[in-house]
Structure 1
Amino acid sequence: MSDQITLDKPEGTAAPTGTPLLEIKGLEKHFPVHGGFLIKRKVGAVHAVDGIDLTVHSNESVGLVGESGCGKSTLGRLVTRLLEPTGGSIKYQGQEIAHASRKAMAPIRSDIQMIFQDPYSSLNPRQTVGAIIGAPMEINGIEPAGGVQRRVQELLETVGLNPEHYNRFPHEFSGGQRQRIGVARALSLNPKLIVADEPVSALDVSIQAQVVNLLQQLQKDLGISFLFIAHDLSIVRHFSQRVAVMYLGKIVEIADRKSLYESPRHPYTHALLSAVPEADPDDVRERIRLTGDVPSPINPPSGCRFRTRCWKAQDKCATEEPPLVQLSGNVDGHLTACHFPEEGSTAVPEPRLAKEL
């Protein structure tokens, strides 16, 4: 990145304590699959999210990483209630919202906002920037001091844009500027939790660091909690205090960033970290190449879902699903779902039985 990402928070953070701001337990989202020529009937379901346990505390950033199609974005939309959960619990400040009615969700929606992945399609091209950012305030009947226009201009300045561009349209801005507009819209209701769904993946590499730095500064200044969804592990390491690794609808490992990046225990986490480019040319890390494709979420493997691509899989992995628990020797809060976890090191496992492509 041409613009260096600053790391303001300490590298290692203790496991958070106290009542969480957001608490997810056993969360599920299954999309029905219909078949039949004349009469459509349900023939299966896509297990996009299948039993997720996760917490986010006040003023905390939690990263969520994994391969495309593992259910990260679906989980983000469940948290913001853009999708209706199939089962499980979502508690915000102790209040159950998983199946709350529209009326019950009304006072909570302003506290939970979302930054979308694509800055091109998430903004209405027929509305001005002022109308886009001011819409949430008008919909919720909020009249800020000095009026909506003044508040919108303050938000534009907060995210690094010119307040005089209030009457411009989205097509007049670059991709990075459009994403800043999306950030300003998310801030318009003074949220306590922001779900950032891969907010920089659609941006040029030279712009990504600027947007990440902006989000870091906003969290520091405003005390906002983040659920930061991404597939770039290097960005997640800089932004998030805790990191959860997701595979085929389930979380397989979660820990503070220092513990996860320096002492991963799940084989899938090892494989992901081995693919992260190193800035030091002398630090050559051997790549762990996994064979085959991710299994179908319509018919996921029994037991451990990663067993079909894992070099340590045994009979037990096919019959028993490993629980997400703390292993002996792990720091407090480092949870792993594996019957045969790796040693707490980023070194390539030996013997290498991974089926390489």
Structure 2
Amino acid sequence: MSENVTLPQQQGAKQQQGEPLLKVEGLQKHFPIYGGFPFKRQVGAVKAVDGVDLTMYPGESLGLVGESGCGKSTTGRLITRLLEPTGGTIEYAGQDITHAKRKQLAPIRSEIQMIFQDPYSSLNPRQTVGTIIKSPMEVNGINPPGGRENRVRELLETVGLNPEHYNRFPHEFSGGQRQRIGVARALALQPKLIVADEPVSALDVSIQAQVVNLLQKVQEEMGIAFLFIAHDLAVVRHFSQRVAVMYLGKVMEVADRDSLYNRPRHPYTHALLSAVPEATVDGSQRERIRLAGDVPSPINPPTGCRFRTRCWKAQEKCATDEPPLVQLSGSTEGHLTACHFPEEPTIKGGKEVVLDPALASLESDSK
């Protein structure tokens, strides 16, 4: 098991030596709120995404986690340019696509694909599976060797479906099978980057594992970079090499998987991890951190650190100065945190205590 877990990280380390595939800086998306009578005017804005910085390298998987409503899905749609950004920049393969027009985006549309959250509403019920998967090739004028139909049948086999299902309709498939069809459609153009927007949240637990393993297989065999959006930290840990934690439109912490799950520096990350169910040999339970209050409104977010209204470590500085996303002293390379008063590793009996015993054992096995 340790080989299956550590292999993706080793690959990611090699890939990060090159140029980034995707670079997002200060990304914003504000949805205007209109009011007034008889003439409507803008009276505010929902700051769904408000200054997100992310970097992805070819072939790596980056998990994007956080509570519902924190801006994860909106960030994914901005990166794929399904939404127009309010501010910030999006660079793909060194090209600025932040406000690129339709003709400018056309050449790279095939390289950035998306897997949608709901496998029931993301497939056209009036089209056959063959037509659904073939459509991207038709739109982009791609004629693969052997023809489009042959390519679709190959993709169905790749995602674990029977090629003979080519002429079936979506309603004839289960939820897990429909999501596999969505994966096949995303792979049809041989993309370099796939944004997977909570691809398993609508599926049963047993089916979730099948789909996640399928995505992992696709990534390793085809070298596709994945932005894996989810709120299930256990699923993200299994799939992602690096993890970014979002809260109220901002990234609070970014680190490689083992570093973030073992030694979280931001209090919000610590609280999220404390809520993950944990099975131990002696039956002991991890101490649960219960956050006070509700998530503030994105219409009027708190000043300074956005997490301060629910943080047990908040001080006056947190209300006046917004903490930058930087590498703190004592953190591993590439572990970035936005906090004035970060969490410190817990020491008991002269040894550092990590939050995830399973990952700790994997680390000791790999040494």
Q: Note whether the superposition's TM-score is higher than 0.5.
A: yes
- Cα deviation, 1:57-80, whole Å, max 9, x if unaligned, reads 001000000000000000000000
What letter corresponds to residue 169 of structure 2 in structure 1? F
1:17 CA drift (Å): 3.0
- Cα deviation, 1:21-76, whole Å, max 9, x if unaligned, reads 00001111000011123221100001111111100100100000000000000000
- Cα deviation, 1:329-351, whole Å, max 9, x if unaligned, reads 11100000000001135779xxx
Cα distance in structure 2, aligned partners of 1:310 and 1:347: 21
Aligned to 1:291: 292
Cα distance in structure 2, aligned partners of 1:136 and 1:110: 8
Q: Is the 8 A contact 1:14 1:256 kept in 2?
A: no
Q: Is the 8 A contact 1:262 1:344 kept in 2?
A: no
Aligned to 1:308: 309
Aligned length: 343
Structure 1-normalised TM-score? 0.94
Of Structure 1 and Structure 2, the greater helix share is in 2
User: Does the residue aligned with 2:221 lie in a helix, a strand or coil?
Assistant: helix
Aligned to 1:157: 157
Cα distance in structure 1, aligned partners of 2:93 and 2:163: 34
2:57 is the alignment partner of 1:57: yes
Aligned to 1:99: 99
Cα distance in structure 1, aligned partners of 2:74 and 2:292: 26
Q: CA RMSD in A?
A: 1.4
Aligned to 1:220: 220
Same amino acid, percent of matched pairs: 76
Aligned to 1:275: 275
Aligned to 1:199: 199
Cα distance in structure 2, aligned partners of 1:283 and 1:7: 25
Q: How does 1:1-357 map to 2 (within 5 A)?
A: 7=5, 9=7, 14=13, 16-280=16-280, 282-345=283-346
1:238 CA drift (Å): 0.9
What letter corresponds to residue 305 of structure 1 in structure 2? R
User: Does the residue aligned with 2:5 lie in a helix, a strand or coil?
Assistant: coil
Bigger relative contact order, structure 1 or 2 (CA pairs below 8 A, ≥6 apart):
1
Q: Is the 8 A contact 2:263 2:354 kept in 1?
A: no
Gaps of 5+ in 1: 1-5, 349-357
Cα distance in structure 1, aligned partners of 2:13 and 2:335: 10
Q: Is the 8 A contact 2:262 2:354 kept in 1?
A: no
Q: Out of 11-20 and 131-140, give the one that drifted further.
A: 11-20
What letter corresponds to residue 331 of structure 1 in structure 2? T
What letter corresponds to residue 121 of structure 1 in structure 2? S
- Cα deviation, 1:80-127, whole Å, max 9, x if unaligned, reads 000000011100000000100100000000000000000000000000
| Alpha-carbon spacing, 1:8–1:132, altered in 2? closer, same or farther (3 Å) | farther
Cα distance in structure 1, aligned partners of 2:345 and 2:30: 34
Q: Is the 8 A contact 2:128 2:170 kept in 1?
A: yes
| Alpha-carbon spacing, 1:253–1:179, altered in 2? closer, same or farther (3 Å) | same
